[in-house]
Amino acid sequence: MSYVMNKGKLRLLAPALLLTTLVACSGKDETAAPAAAPATPAATAPAAPAVAEKVQAMDTQQLRDLASAALRENRMYAPAGDNAMEYYLALRDKLPDDASIKSALTDLQPYTLIAAEQALSREDFTETQRLIALVEKVDPTAPALPRLKQGVTGSMQVAERRTVEEADKAKKDAETRAKQQVEQQRMAQQQAAEASAAQQLAAKQEAARKDSERQEAERQAASRREAEQRSAAQAAAQQAAAPKPAAAAAPTLRAVSTPAPRYPADALRSGTSGEVLVELSIGTDGSVTDARVLRATPARVFDREALNAVKRWKFEPINSPTTTRRTLAFAPNK
């Protein structure tokens, strides 16, 4: 069976019609297989075979069944190793005189060409080269092959240039970012150094100010001490030069009332004894105007009660205030 159709009609051929025709052709009885399949010269063999080795190793009946299944599932040229094109190409190698196989490949070729152009447009060069290899194995003189091959070469060069340009741009961008980072780090270090220098300068200025204030305070204190010393020396000189008055006799004190101090409870319980020497200031009316402890044994045990007692003492009036001392004894047995 043969088909006469142009390329435009092939593109519009429905997969169902193609399937019906190819399946019908596949049902014919096989002719006797030749003694050996024609071998492809080594010099023209592609880097990767157009038909997968596992497909080439299948027998004719298995290839027919798989080809029919691939057509039903619309796997005309893909995926690699499992498509109608490869199965029919393997069948043609085994049955080169089978017209139905040749017709099937002729019908499948336009779809494979369109798929190759689409793969090329999206720059899937591996898929494009695989599909070109299928078309070339079907018909090495196909008019579209030179254009497709040239398109692959040109597109790969463009893609390679673009990749190089993108790599160069990425490298330049990385270098620019690295320079910017270095500059930012340098600026940050410079700002940190300037801030540190400003802090150190401020600290030095503050230390100098405090040192100046301290020196001024010390100078003023020294001036005050010198003035006090001069004033004291002048007062001493004046006192030494002034005639000394006759020493007045201390007035005679006659006690009117001297109530005894209260014995501290803690000291009484512990049996502690002691004495307190008190200095008294006596006014002209005979009352105690002031009192202070000069010595106490033991310390701070009887001081408060001694002071409380002497402040209540009363003497006969005198001509002028005077000061006297009294010792108050504390004994638990008294």
**10-residue block means of pLDDT along the chain (334 residues)?**
32 38 36 34 54 96 96 96 96 96 96 96 96 95 94 91 91 92 91 86 88 88 83 72 57 91 93 95 96 95 95 95 95 77
CA dihedral 91, 96, 100, 104 (to 10 degrees): 60
Nearest Cα to Cα of residue 85 among 26, 10, 138, 16:
138
pLDDT computed for residue 16 by the predictor: 37
Domain extent, residue 48, equals: 7-142
- Comparing C-alpha atoms, which of 38, 127, 52 is closest to residue 83? 52
| CB atoms closer than 10 angstroms to residue 290 | 12
Q: Please indicate, yes or no, if residue 113 is contained in any of the structural domains.
A: yes
Single out the residue in 103, 118, 142 at which a domain terminates.
142
Token pair of 293 as six digits: 């402890």
Write the Ramachandran bin of 65: left for phi over 0, alpha for psi from -120 to 50, otherwise beta: alpha
Cα separation, 111 vs 19, whole angstroms: 13
Residue 147 lies inside a defined structural domain of this protein: no
Which pLDDT belongs to residue 334?
54
Domain final residue, candidates 108, 142, 176: 142
**E-strand stretches of the chain:** 255-257, 274-282, 288-297, 314-315, 322-330
* Any domain includes 221: no
- Does a structural domain hold residue 225? no
Collapsed DSSP state (helix, strand, coil) of residue 256: strand
Instruction: With respect to residue 210, please indicate whether it lies within any of the assigned structural domains.
Output: no
> Domain for residue 320, yes or no?
yes
Domain end call among 82, 113, 142: 142
CATH of the domain at 313: 3.30.2420.10
Cβ-contact 313, 259 below 8 angstroms: yes
Nearest residue to 253 via CA among 217, 215, 280: 280
Domain-embedded: residue 176: no
- Number of domains within the chain: 2
What does 170-202 look like in DSSP terms, one character per residue? HHHHHHHHHHHHHHHHHHHHHHHHHHHHHHHHH
Residues 156 and 125: beta-carbon distance below 8 Å: yes
Segment 155-163 long-range contacts (CB within 8 Å, at least 24 positions apart)? 155/120, 155/123, 155/125, 156/125, 159/123, 159/125
- What is the C-alpha separation between 64 and 61, in angstroms, rounded? 5
Is 166 part of a structural domain of the chain?
no
What's the CA gap between 103 and 170, in Å, rounded? 52
CA distances from 250 to 20, 143, 206, 282, 319 (A): 155, 152, 61, 12, 10
0.85 surpassed by pTM: no
Cα separation, 4 vs 216, in Å, equals 120
